[in-house]
Amino acid sequence: MRQTEQMEAMATEESANTDIRSTIAGYPSISSALLPTLHITQREHGWLPSRAIEELAESLELTSAHVKGVATFHSMLNNKPVARNVIQLCTNIACMLFGAESLLDLLKNRYGLEPGGISEDGRFSLVIMECIGLCDQAPAMLVNRDVHARLTAQSIVEILESYD
């Protein structure tokens, strides 16, 4: 790692630590800050490495097992490395009825994406969701924090091509 990259990584880590401390200070009990601080930790690393979970557990005065248990329960928390962009495609009933399965096939054929996998170029990870609250606009997905609904085979490609 070059010196400038090391300095950037240290600045990012310090910024995350500051955010975690100020988040903890905003809650009546330390452990109540678990979910928001998990999101801060994920923002720093892109996912939740074991070492980061252990450090967070120490800050929150919780066991690593407790923090890991919460981290593995929530689908928006990544417990393994992910690509630059995370696609969360809903395949539950409303989205399935409106073509989510064919979108899944398209992602596999065009990008080599399997559920839980990463595309070869490292651009996309694919996570299957059980409803993202957009049933009236099915089929729907999130890419990172962006919502995309009423997807078609054409629109999903156009949308994904806008992500580096």
Residues forming contacts to ligand FES in the complex (CB under 6 A) are: 90, 92-95, 131-135, 138, 140
Written as six digits, the tokens of 152 are 């078609």
Question: Any idea what the Cα angle at residue 129 is, between residues 72 and 122, rounded to 5°?
Answer: 80
In the sheet where 146-148 sits, what is the strand order?
A: 124-129, 85-90, 141-143, 146-148
Residue closer to ligand FES by CB (options 134, 160) is 134
Written as six digits, the tokens of 20 are 């975690």
Residue closer to ligand FES by CB (options 77, 135) is 135
Residue closer to ligand FES by CB (options 56, 129) is 129
Q: Closest approach of Cβ 38 to ligand FES, in Å?
A: 24
CB-CB contact of 89 with 103 (8 Å): yes
Q: Closest approach of Cβ 155 to ligand FES, in Å?
A: 16
Q: Closest approach of Cβ 112 to ligand FES, in Å?
A: 24
